[in-house]
C-alpha cells in the first residue's frame, strides 16, 4: 500500500470517527437527561444511555489513536515546517539585535 493511499484511509477513518464522536456527544448533551438515575434504562433512538456512552467513549479512544497515527505519518512535514518557522523567526530576531544604532538614537 503506497503512502498516499494510507494517508487517505487514515484521514477517512478520522473523519468518520469525528462525525461519530460529535454526533454522540451532541446527542447525549441535548437529548439524554443528565444523571445516572434519569434515563438509565430508557431507549433513545433504540439504544440505552449506557450504549450511547460506550459508543462515544470507544470512538473517542479510536479517534485519539488515529490522530497519533496521522501525526506519525506526517512527522517529516511537521518537523520541516517547524524548522522553517522557527528558523525564520530566530533570523529576524538576530537581525534586529545586530542592527547598528546610530549615535543619535542613543542620545534621544
Parse the chain into domains and list their residue ranges: 3-98
C-alpha distances (whole Å) from 95 to each of 27, 89, 98, 102, 103 are 54, 10, 5, 16, 19
pLDDT level of residue 44 (50, 70, 90 thresholds): confident
pLDDT at 13: 97
pLDDT level of residue 93 (50, 70, 90 thresholds): low
Where does residue 60 rank: exposed (0-12), middle (13-18), buried (19+ CB within 10 A)? middle
Query: What does the mean pLDDT of the chain come to?
Result: 83
6 vs 84, higher pLDDT: 6
Whether residue 19 has pLDDT greater than 80: yes
Whether residue 99 has pLDDT greater than 70: no
**Cβ-based neighbour number of residue 56 at 10 Å:** 18
Helical packing angle, 3-30 and 49-73, nearest 10°: 150
CA separation for the pair 52, 108 (Å, rounded): 69
pLDDT at 41: 73
Amino acid at each position: 500500500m503506497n503512502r498516499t493511499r494510507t494517508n487517505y484511509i487514515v484521514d477517512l477513518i478520522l473523519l468518520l470517527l469525528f462525525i461519530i464522536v460529535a454526533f454522540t456527544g451532541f446527542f447525549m448533551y441535548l437529548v439524554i437527561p443528565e444523571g445516572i438515575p434519569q434515563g438509565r434504562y430508557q431507549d433513545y433512538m433504540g439504544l440505552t444511555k449506557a450504549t450511547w456512552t460506550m459508543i462515544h467513549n470507544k470512538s473517542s479512544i479510536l479517534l485519539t489513536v488515529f490522530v497519533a497515527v496521522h501525526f506519525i505519518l506526517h512527522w517529516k512535514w511537521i518537523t520541516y515546517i517547524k524548522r522553517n518557522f522557527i528558523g525564520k523567526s530566530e533570523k529576524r530576531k538576530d537581525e534586529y539585535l545586530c542592527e547598528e544604532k546610530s549615535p543619535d538614537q542613543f542620545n534621544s
